[in-house]
Chains A and B, each alone.
Chain A
């Protein structure tokens, strides 16, 4: 019996990356900007998506893929907020979305009608980082109420993301959110990532965030 050492040096989730690359090709062919929304439970993923939809109005045709452990309540919310199309993925307990789940869901979306697609990942700041889905933009959504130490506790998402939306900015004082500490930690990890402070409750910052998205859509 001969024993050989085989050098591989490959992402452990290479099979997922390959499906993600196929998804990415379909998105590119359809000219859609795709945003993977990653946040902890309660940060306001669905609220940010619905408020973004309302702010965009008829400036974009937006699709939403809702990833959730169970239920379809969020799909109903985004459709009534003006989403052009929405599809629900129930992961049945899985803590993250995987590229093949997106590939399947794409069968239920009319991509040609859309120019922006939000993929709302399962509420979790760790697991969704490893599974790329084929997105253009990884959005890290954080909220003041979760605390200013999120970047220190979950550095991976704050390092890997392309943009940060800091929600519930209207609560910052009430929850003793230390803005300087938050920014210092984020900048140590990801020196030039854009950060948008928003409030879904009073509308602060939604125009700036939406303008940034529109600029990115034009580049797609």
Chain B
């Protein structure tokens, strides 16, 4: 349910960036979201709800998801645990490795604006 708050912050941030550059329209917003950041696709619903009448009306929302990754201390394998699995074990040797990316990203990577 925090997707509503997140979308509100996103649009305020995007509007500020766009106005600073004298944009007439925002045509695309590119986000990087970690798969473990707990942000689901209801974000798209709020985007459609909240953008009409704003500078971002009609913009395309592109989301790139990053994956959680570990490196195995025993066999050196780099792996992303299956979120459906109940542990962080290495799929090759079964040892539990060390986190290298927690996939908690919540970033505005870039925006496309029309001037």
A155 and B68 contacting across the interface, CB-CB below 8 Å: yes
As a 0/1 sequence over residues 1 to 45 of chain A, the CB contacts with chain B under 8 angstroms (1 = contact) are 111111111111111100000000000000000000000000000
> Is A51 located at the chain interface by the 8 A CB criterion?
no
Q: How far is the CA of A11 from the CA of B13 in the complex (A)?
A: 10
What residue of chain A has the Cβ atom nearest to residue B102's Cβ? A159
> Is A98 located at the chain interface by the 8 A CB criterion?
yes
Q: How far is the CA of A10 from the CA of B110 in the complex (A)?
A: 9
Cβ distance A36 to chain B, nearest Cβ, rounded Å: 16
As a 0/1 sequence over residues 93 to 115 of chain B, the CB contacts with chain A under 8 angstroms (1 = contact) are 00011110010101111111111
Query: On chain B, which size bracket covers the interface?
Result: 35 or more
> Is A96 located at the chain interface by the 8 A CB criterion?
yes
> Is A110 located at the chain interface by the 8 A CB criterion?
no
For B113, what are the chain A residues with a Cβ–Cβ distance below 8 Å? 3-4, 6
A11 and B106 contacting across the interface, CB-CB below 8 Å: yes
B13 and A14 contacting across the interface, CB-CB below 8 Å: yes
Main secondary structure of the interface of A (DSSP, over half): mixed
7 closest A-B pairs by beta carbon, nearest first, are: A126-B38, A127-B2, A159-B102, A8-B108, A156-B104, A12-B106, A7-B110
A residues in contact (CB < 8 Å) with B: 1-16, 94-96, 98, 126-127, 129-130, 149, 152, 155-156, 159-160, 181, 184-185, 188-191
A10-B108, A14-B13, A130-B2 are known; give 14 further A-B pairs, CB within 8 A.
Answer: A5-B110, A8-B109, A8-B110, A9-B110, A11-B106, A13-B9, A96-B2, A126-B2, A149-B86, A152-B86, A156-B102, A159-B102, A188-B96, A190-B99
B residues in contact (CB < 8 Å) with A: 1-2, 5-6, 9-10, 12-13, 17, 21, 24, 27, 31, 36-38, 68, 70, 86-88, 96-99, 102, 104, 106-115
